[in-house]
Amino acid sequence: MTPLAFTLIVFFAAIGAGGLGSLLGLGGGIIIIPVLTLLLKIDIRYAIGASIVSVIATSSGAAAAYVRERMTNLRLAMLLEVATTTGALTGAFVAGHLAVRWLYLIFGLVMAYSALAMFCNRHPLSATVVSHDRLADRLRLHDSYFDEAAGIEVSYRVTHTRLGFVLMYIAGVVSGLLGIGSGALKVPAMDLAMRLPIKVSTATSNFMIGVTAAASAGVYFARGDIDPFVAAPVAAGVLLGATIGSRLLSKLHSKRIRSVFVIVLMWVAVQMLWKGMR
Amino acid sequence: MSAESQCLDMRKVHLVETVISHLLRFGVILSLAVVICGTVVSFIHHPEYLWSSPALQRLTTPGAVFPQTVSGVWHGVGKFEGQSIVLAGLLLLVATPVVRVAVSVLAFVYQKDRIFTLITLVVLGLLLLSFVLGKAEG
């Protein structure tokens, strides 16, 4: 393959990964890494380095829209970013000292989990929770957002701040270790543990993903894992794909389409695990 | 807090949110433009990339040679090297969320919110630490 052909193939593959990722509500990173490693035989460290940069691009691109719509809880995001960036630094640091086979194994497991989590229906929890979380009171984390569908301002209260903080650290470690946004871990931490409305959880998670990724990107860059030749088409492609995907239709709701994808993603996860075990 | 001052407070917050939002979009667009320029420059400087397969091996297998420090990238950009320009664009992209956090520090200082100024400073410190940490082990 010539460098030109490689750049074009990676670029179009990244558009596909970004588009699919945004349609399924997963990030582009979790899809582009297997494409780069399994199909294009790129070293997984370069794949991770390229992916982490694309994660920043999509997060910053999407965060801009979410912030304007006032869905993001900025104060909560800032507080939890202390946990996610610490986690990301831990993850990125550990990744450099871990044998490549472990990266494949962990990636396979996280991918399988994310695919299942995406597939399972999330029932919206009762919106109003009585919060006895004094930390959340002191830090004034409670907020409200404008629900366009209902046409009203919805106030909500934050609870279990400490538990959320710990879960965010774990999400940060996974993000730093594998070069993915790990939104599949961040959203449930806010939605299930801290009882935030799902729209706020998604927007806030997306907002935090960029900052988290920036922390590990610094480590990857200094280590020489961000190969410009791989990262350039990946970053440009994933961002373009995610932009197209989010405009194409809001989300893929059809159960049948989602079940096809969940099977494909599980199969890819098994391939990654297999590569780690050999 | 009076209703009036609370209203003013909200307006300040919205202003900050709008600034952040524009900043993020501008950063992403600018950095990708630089990345694309760098890629084009790479191909112009190395016409063999259009037909040579061994060149790809050199570029994408472990041990590939490209700058790994900010000063190295800066130096390469000065010499108009494609790969360095690409990396400069990617670094700009990585910097977008960092600048975003820095703006938030100022916003919290402006709101006289001591706890959150401190929290945001910690996040900023961790982000800056990442570059040092990666370099220290290399």
Tokens of B132: 């040092």
Collect all residues of chain A within an 8 Å Cβ-Cβ radius of residue B62: 43, 45-46
3-class DSSP state for residue B129?
A: helix
User: What are A154's strand-pairing partners?
Assistant: A145
Does residue B55 sit at the A interface (CB-CB below 8 Å)? yes
What is the ipTM for the molecules in this complex?
0.87
- pLDDT value at residue A227: 94
Read off the pLDDT band of B7 (50, 70, 90).
low
Q: CB–CB of B68 and A221 under 8 A?
A: yes
Mean pLDDT of B56-63: 81
Of residues A1 and A180, more confidently modeled:
A180
**A92–B134: do the CB atoms touch at under 8 Å?**
yes
Chain B residues in contact with A18 by the CB 8 A cut-off are none
pLDDT band at A217 (very low <50, low <70, confident <90, very high): very high
- φ, ψ of residue A155 in degrees (nearest 5): -95, 150
Question: How close A8 gets to chain B, by Cα (Å)?
Answer: 11
d(CA B58, CA B29): 29
- Contact residues, chain B, for A239 at CB < 8 Å: 28, 32
For residue A6, the surrounding DSSP H or E stretch is helix A3-24
What residues have CB less than 8 Å from A123, skipping those under 6 apart? none
Angle at B114 between CA B112 and CA B120, to 5 degrees: 105
Mutant choice from A1, A42, A44, A56 vs B, greatest count of B C-beta within 10 A: A56
Interchain proximity B49–A139, CB inside 8 Å: no
Does the pLDDT of residue B70 top 70, yes or no?
Answer: yes
Most confident of A21-25, A65-69, A118-122, A126-130: A21-25
C-beta neighbour count of A67 within 10 angstroms: 26
Contact B86 A67 (CB under 8 A): no
CB A129 within 8 A of CB A197: no
Helix (H/G/I), strand (E/B), else coil: A44: helix
The answer on pLDDT for A201 being more than 90 is: no
Whether B97 and A219 lie within 8 Å, measured CB to CB: no
On chain B, the residues whose CB falls within 8 A of the CB of A61 are 24-25, 28
| Paired residues of A146 in beta bridges | A153
In angstroms, rounded to a whole number, what is the distance separating the alpha carbons of residues A78 and B115?
11
Q: Which residue of B has its CA nearest to A51?
A: B90
Q: In the 8-state DSSP scheme, what is residue A55?
A: H
CB A119 within 8 A of CB A258: yes
User: Is B104 in CB contact (< 8 Å) with chain A?
Assistant: yes
